[in-house]
Amino acid sequence: MLGPALVHEDLGASWRSARPRPAGRHLDSAACSRQSHRVLEAVAHHARHEAELGGYVAEATAEDLLQQGRSVIGGLVGMAAADVVFVESAQAALVTLLAAWGLPAGARVACLPGEYAPNAAQLRAAGLGVEPLPVDGLGCADLEGVARLLATDPPRLVHLTHIGSHRGVVQPAAEMASLCRAAGVPLVLDAAQSLAHVDTDVGADVVYSTSRKWLAGPRGVGLLCVRPAVAAELTPVLPAPDDVPPLRALESGEAHVAGRVGLVLAVGEHVAAGPARVRERLAALGRAAREVLEGTAGWRVVEPLDAPTATTTLRPPNGVDVVTTRARLLTEHGIVTTAIGPQRAPGEMTGPVLRVSPHLDATFDDLEALATAL
């Protein structure tokens, strides 16, 4: 079947040619994207430098590159290089932030009912009280309800997951940031599924994310971005050296520096591709996936057709096991997807879903192949 043309086909071709040939059809970028040859080579090159020069000498030689990376990452979220630190993952970023913030026990944090379960667990482990934000029927923040909450009973902070890992729906983060700013309530944005996927320059006070998803960088690397007003409330265990920004006290010193180098290369590739064009192609791929997959063999799409993301989640027909289906797609058809159980977002999910998340190199043929396999 000949499918509709997807926008910016040149991006798909260049993204595809820049990477090793996949063993099958990779439709799982919301879990982990494929790194480019340049990123893989940069990571290996730094690892060799560590063997030749010593780990700390090699890190010093990479510092200018890492600082350029902090600057570009800051630009993607509307902050400066001094506001950006490297950590090991999005979860490590949240843990690092909460440990340094030292909010009083019982302080209230407002989150979506569909909050990512590990995030909610970390907030509770920090002694914070997690309360639901008002939402609409799709699980998006109800801005009028949020405004009333902030005016009448404001929490200590709002934690917003920009795009859930279980649902390809974008939260109104810019509007939330505006409401929170007017109320004097910090907004912490989990951008693990949104950085390099949708616009993340939304005015949040804190943004944290990971390398391995839509940025297509190495695993084991994450980032934490904090505006100065919130950074001033943080108390690291040890202060930063005098010659670096204070926030760098939160940056882990014993780290996979080669992975950070790879992340910086991946960020550079994203910027060179044109973030707006990337967003447009990813949104087009998501729409195409929903059009192809809706109703296929009884599977039903969760997201609205025009949700501006590349992530599509499918509810199974009665009697069909999602975990078994995911395994069959991989072993029999070479198609990589994710099976998600309701424990990932127990406040919102009522059953398991199959997640499909193509990156720029995906084709209409890939989506048709998935539909046929289902």
CATH number at residue 16: 3.90.1150.10
First to last CA, the chain: 16
> With 50 as the cut, is the pLDDT of residue 87 above it?
yes
Mark whether 281 and 335 lie in a shared domain: yes
Mark whether 354 and 283 lie in a shared domain: yes
Q: How far apart are CA 38 and CA 273, in angstroms?
A: 14
The reported pLDDT for the residue numbered 242 is 86
> In this structure, what CATH number is given to the domain that contains residue 111?
3.40.640.10
Q: How far apart are CA 176 and CA 107, in angstroms?
A: 20
213 vs 53, 75, 88, 221, 360, CA distance in Å?
31, 19, 13, 11, 12
Buried b / exposed e over 6-20, threshold 16 CB at 10 Å, is: bebeebbebbbebbe
> In 3D, which of 304, 290, 206, 297 has the Cα closest to residue 247?
206
Q: What is the pLDDT of residues 274-318, one digit of tens each?
A: 999 999 999 999 999 999 999 999 999 999 999 999 999 999 999
Name the residue type at position 53: L
Q: How far apart are CA 228 and CA 226, in angstroms?
A: 6
- 225 contacts 73 by C-beta, under 8 angstroms: yes
> Which of the listed residues 215, 245, 273 is the one where a domain comes to its end?
273
Instruction: Please tell me whether the overall predicted TM-score, pTM, comes out greater than 0.95 for this model.
Output: yes
* Residue 1 domain flag: no
The reported pLDDT for the residue numbered 3 is 56
Q: What is the mean pLDDT of residues 149-165?
A: 98
> Which of the listed residues 254, 273, 292 is the one where a domain comes to its end?
273
* Residue 231 domain flag: yes
Domain of residue 281 covers 9-27+274-373
Q: What is the mean pLDDT of residues 78-102?
A: 98
- 166 contacts 353 by C-beta, under 8 angstroms: yes
Q: How far apart are CA 143 and CA 150, in angstroms?
A: 10
The reported pLDDT for the residue numbered 253 is 87
Q: What is the pLDDT of residues 26-62, one digit of tens each?
A: 999 999 999 999 999 999 999 999 999 999 999 999 9
- Percent of the chain at pLDDT > 70 equals 99
Mark whether 84 and 65 lie in a shared domain: yes
Please list, in sequence order, all residues whose beta carbon lies within 8 angstroms of the beta carbon of residue 16, skipping any fewer than 6 positions away: 360, 361
Give the confidence band of 119 by pLDDT, cuts at 50, 70, 90: very high
- 360 contacts 6 by C-beta, under 8 angstroms: no
Mark whether 225 and 291 lie in a shared domain: no
Q: How far apart are CA 185 and CA 159, in angstroms?
A: 10
The reported pLDDT for the residue numbered 1 is 46
Q: How far apart are CA 260 and CA 211, in angstroms?
A: 9
Mark whether 280 and 313 lie in a shared domain: yes
> Which of the listed residues 243, 273, 303 is the one where a domain comes to its end?
273
